[in-house]
A and B are shown apart, each in its own frame.
Chain A
Amino acid sequence: MFDSTGISELGGRHDVALQGLMASILSGEGNPARASHEADLLAVARDRDRVAFRRLFDHFAPRLRSFLRRLRTPEGTLDDLVQDVMASVWRRANSYDPAKASASTWIFTIARNRRIDLARRKRPEVDLDDPATVHEEADGEPLPDEQASHGQLAVILRDAIAQLPPDQSEIVALAYQRDMSHSEIASELDLPLGTVKSRLRLALVKLRTAMEGLD
Chain B
Amino acid sequence: MTEAVSKVIRTEEYQLSMGPVHPSTHGVLQILLTLDGERVVKAVPCMGYLHRGIEKLMESRNYFQCMPYTDRLDYVSAMNNDFAYCRAVEKLAQLEVPERAQYIRVIMAELNRIASHMIFIGSLAVDVGATTGMIYPFRDRECILDIFNELCGARMTYSYIRIGGVKSDLSVKVIDMINVFLKNLSAMIDEYNDLLTGNEIFQHRLKNTSVITAEQALQLGLTGPMLRASGVNYDLRKDNAYSSYEDFIFDVPLGNSGDNWDRYIVRMKEMRQSAKIVKQALDGLPEGSVMAKVPKVLRPPKGEVYVTTEGPRGEVGYHIISDGTVKPYRVHIRRPSLINLQALDLMCRGYLVGDVVVAMSTIDPILGEVDC
| Bind each other | no
